Chain A
Amino acid sequence: MDLKTLYREVILDHYKTPRNTTPLSAPSCEADCRNPSCGDKVRVQLRLDDGLVSEVAIIGNGCAISQASASMMTEAVKGRRVVEIEAVMEEFRRMVMGAGSEADREVLGDLMILEGIARLHARVKCAMCGWSALDAALNENGSDVNLDEDTELPASSQH
């Protein structure tokens, strides 16, 4: 799929009318992700019920890819078990980072349409913004992920 088609058929729809944008009144967990080099910002809020994401909300602004990817993420996680979501997150990360091996269509489903992002190296961070916030919400409630920092470094060595 060429870039214009990808934007026209998928990305702009989610960018202009993002899904699940009503803030949750009492989220079980939430986290922010920001990409300071371009101003992309996504907050993810989750309501967890018995190991299942019953409600999800995103609040953010930024480029079309960052916001559309976050919007599609909400559709992919709503109503699913956290263990399944962890698998989707991992597979999505592998896909957009261009892990080499073919992405798992069964795990990713509709998200496969964003496969082409792997070729746009400068945009991978944009596509990951909502997903990084989701990961942080599930695993480090209340955190604020900064995509410009090398997250692989231990926090103590960043100063």
Chain B
Amino acid sequence: MNSHSPAGSGVSTKYDVARIREDFPALRRTVKGQSLVYFDNTAATLKPQTVIDTITRVYSDFPANVHRGIHQLSEEATEAYEAARLKAANFINAGDPDEIVVTLNTTDSLNHVCGSWGEANIGPGDEILTTEMEHHANFVPWQQLCLRKGAKFQVARVLPSGQLDREDFDRKLSERTKLVAVAHVSNVSGVVNPISELAAQAHRVGAVFVADCAQSVPHMPVDVQALGADFVSCSAYKFLAPFGVGLLWGRKAILDAMPPYRTGGNMIHSVSTEKTRFNVAPHKFEAGTPSIADVIGMGAAIDYLQAIGMQAISDYEHELSRYMHEELLKLPGLSIAGDWFPGKPAIASFHLDYAHPHDIAQFLNEEGVAVRSGLHCAEPLHCSLGLSSTTRASLYLYNTHDEIDRLVAAIRTVEEIFA
């Protein structure tokens, strides 16, 4: 399909990171006179050439709207757009491509569930249960819905280790709970929640289960049928795809029963002055013209990831994670939010007892190392762990051991200045 077949494709079993890095043009640039070390992958990843080329091809060859025209260009655009949906379905093992709703990002995906299912099903006296480790995207919509509906917003605690407090979760889950929303992987501590167990517990009390998979889908094989959730959300630009694309997976029967979240173009079956009949899912949720080239670009990103293999990516990242944690914890005055555990994703949100995260990020940037500082849209978790803010290094399939050494050396320059 393209000239940039990634390393790991074909019969070779060795993970060839040097070959993978060649596919990412941004890795050829410099920052402050040094080669870029990009460790802000939890926020957004770099894009491989095949994704960039795909976007260009859409705009060059068939820059037409989807689902409308009978003309050739529109048919080609529609075919490529729906092919991308099918790839997404296959990527997360959805049983049916009609269960894949294209959104803008995870926040948008979760607002679909909140604004449609939540508005229709949550009432006074009901409860919604989430956790302290959520990204604000999986926290604020539920909190606000509860305030609007007179429902009770329950938040399960996290332990000092960063792990979910299962006893507190069990205590707060009851017959009154109508919806449970939990991250698969924390974007700060990297904690991996046992989604299938939690979803089974939620189902036993008759609650719907929402899994925020923004930090799992890019980094490990995710099978939505095995997870056992009713809704799954993720952001495609966190798995090499263009900006402006997110995904919502929902069980077909639930999606079919839900009212549309937004109304207008594309999502209708027929419209008269008296009434409107809506299209079927997923189209009834995709109101207006989507970001077509970006969605098709997501298809190319999925092809790229699947050619390497999600298990191979996950194994490689676990090795990077082990090395990063080992090296970081050798540094004096450094602590990491949440305890280490085997198989921890390659996310380290750290604290230095001699410098503030903003100053750290500023000086790491001077060394060409891109990290994020602040609360990472997870203020309740920082509060619970007693941290005012952290500096986060988050890695992806193209990062290397040498780059981890660059991070450690850069932190030493901060130590030199501040300590």
Interface residues of A (CB under 8 A from B): 3-4, 7-8, 12, 36-40, 61-65, 120, 122-123, 126
Contact = CB atoms under 8 A, between A and B. Distances in A.
Contacts of A61: 388
B375 A7 contact: no
Interface in B353-388: 355-359, 362-363, 366, 373-375, 379, 388
B417 interface: yes
B363 A39 contact: no
Given A3-B363, A4-B417, A8-B417, A37 B375 contact: yes
Given A37-B374, A38-B357, A38-B374, A123 B388 contact: no
Most chain B beta-carbon contacts within 10 A, residue among A3, A12, A38: A38
B359 A65 contact: yes
Contacts of A40: 358
Interface residues of B, number: 16
Contact of A3 (B356, B362, B373, B374): B362
Contacts of A63: 356-359
List of 6 A-B pairs having minimum Cβ-Cβ separation, nearest first: A39-B388, A63-B356, A63-B358, A64-B359, A39-B389, A38-B374
Interface in B382-415: 388-389
A63 B357 CA distance: 7
Given A63-B358, A65-B359, A4 B366 contact: yes
A64 B366 contact: no
B349 to A, nearest CB: 14
Contacts of B358: 38, 40, 63, 65, 122-123, 126
Contacts of B363: 3-4
Contacts of B417: 4, 7-8, 12
A120 to B, nearest CB: 7
A7 B417 CA distance: 8
A38 B389 contact: yes
B375 A64 contact: no
B25 to A, nearest CB: 24
A38 B418 CA distance: 19
9 contacts: A3-B363, A7-B417, A38-B374, A38-B388, A38-B389, A63-B359, A64-B355, A122-B358, A126-B358
Most chain A beta-carbon contacts within 10 A, residue among B359, B373, B388: B359
A40 B389 CA distance: 10
Most chain A beta-carbon contacts within 10 A, residue among B356, B366, B417, B418: B356
Nearest to A61: B388
Nearest to A11: B359
A120 B357 contact: no
Nearest to B357: A38
Contacts of B374: 37-38
A125 to B, nearest CB: 10
Given A61-B388, A64-B355, 19 more contacts: A3-B362, A3-B366, A4-B363, A4-B417, A7-B359, A8-B417, A36-B379, A37-B374, A38-B356, A38-B358, A39-B389, A40-B358, A63-B356, A63-B357, A64-B359, A65-B358, A120-B362, A122-B358, A123-B362
